[in-house]
Structure 1
Amino acid sequence: MRKLLCSIVMLSVLTIMTACAALSKDITIKPLEDSDYVHTFQDLHLGHIWDFDFYLPNADQRTVQLWVEKYSDGQKDEQFEVGLSYGMSPSKTEKGHIGFGLLDGDTRSLFFYAPGVKGKAQTLENLRLDEGISTGQYAFTKEQKLELNTEYIVGAYRQSLNNSMRSGYDFTNAEEVQQLIDDDTNVLLFKIKITESE
């Protein structure tokens, strides 16, 4: 009887510890440079896509904001407002693809997607993306933990009309991000922020 009681207590403690560990799971985002989404974009020559694996615990109490900031010749375009905001999921957790896409064509378009959510493609005006050289890149290569109420750069699209482009910027360093903005002709910074809903 005593062994049975000890076993039940131990099992209960393990169950509680496991449940607590699951509840305290971090918000994470990881670049998926080799996903089906990325391959489809490449195979069909649709443009550029920044695809991520995203995990959001307590999704029923949080809001996710995705947006793009545009810089031309070192200056932020304050009129440029492109983004997507969603939250208060019916599920306790959200897991799946989250990302940004830049569609090529006569007019360039930008779109966002997240688990169970997609935004309408928005046309990019006055952006000379077909001139000079350009590149798209992720801001990091490994899984990152995200803190609430903090803005993160997760990717960038860069264009230079000078036919030269530096690499190796640290997107977590504000001075290096400013240097990137100053160095390139056009820059799109892809950002994310998670907040606790009220």
Structure 2
Amino acid sequence: MFKQLRKANQNDYLLIMATLILLVVFNLSLLSYVQGQQKAAERDQAKDYEEALKFADAALYEVKIAGKNNFASYKSSLTEKKHHNQLGLGLKALAAGDPTPLLVMQMDTKEAIYVNKSLLEMFGCELSSEFYDYYGQSLLNLISPGDQARFKEEFTDFVESAVDEERFRGDCQILTADARTLRVFCDMKYSVNQRYGALVYISFVLN
């Protein structure tokens, strides 16, 4: 009888120890998960004003790519290079305009779907959102009133007959968001993209 009690006590002891070990493993796993979530949240929080602007700009870029009826809040992955490759254009194509001010326009919608930092600076905008508001739905909003008629005619002639990879070069005066008039040289490239259709790259160089 005593042997049976000792055996029962040993089994209970082993069961209790196994349960305690499982509890310790579970708690450690839970702690690791919580710490990981906290670190992820910290990465997605701006440390200062400049970083907050960058985060907001990255989220806006996601919205422009997703379409008008979508929205995005910032997550750390938005600023990774792969997200600036969502256009399907390749980083080499975009890098060709850096540090030259570059705008990518989607012909179906007439919307500007990519602008680089140099272009924002040229037009006196701190954020992409400011530039998109200024651009509105028309490229002509960027052109000085005195040059709009000529620019419209030349641009229309170019895109109506252009084939993939064709280029057009010209000059015009732009009107910046802070009311400066600048004479620039424009280099335009027509490109057909499988996902986004016809696109026009426009780089601006001070003339």
TM-score, structure 1 as length reference: 0.31
Using CA pairs below 8 Å that are at least 6 residues apart, which structure has the higher relative contact order?
Answer: 1
> Which protein has the bigger strand share?
1
TM-score, structure 2 as length reference: 0.30
> Which protein has the bigger helix share?
2
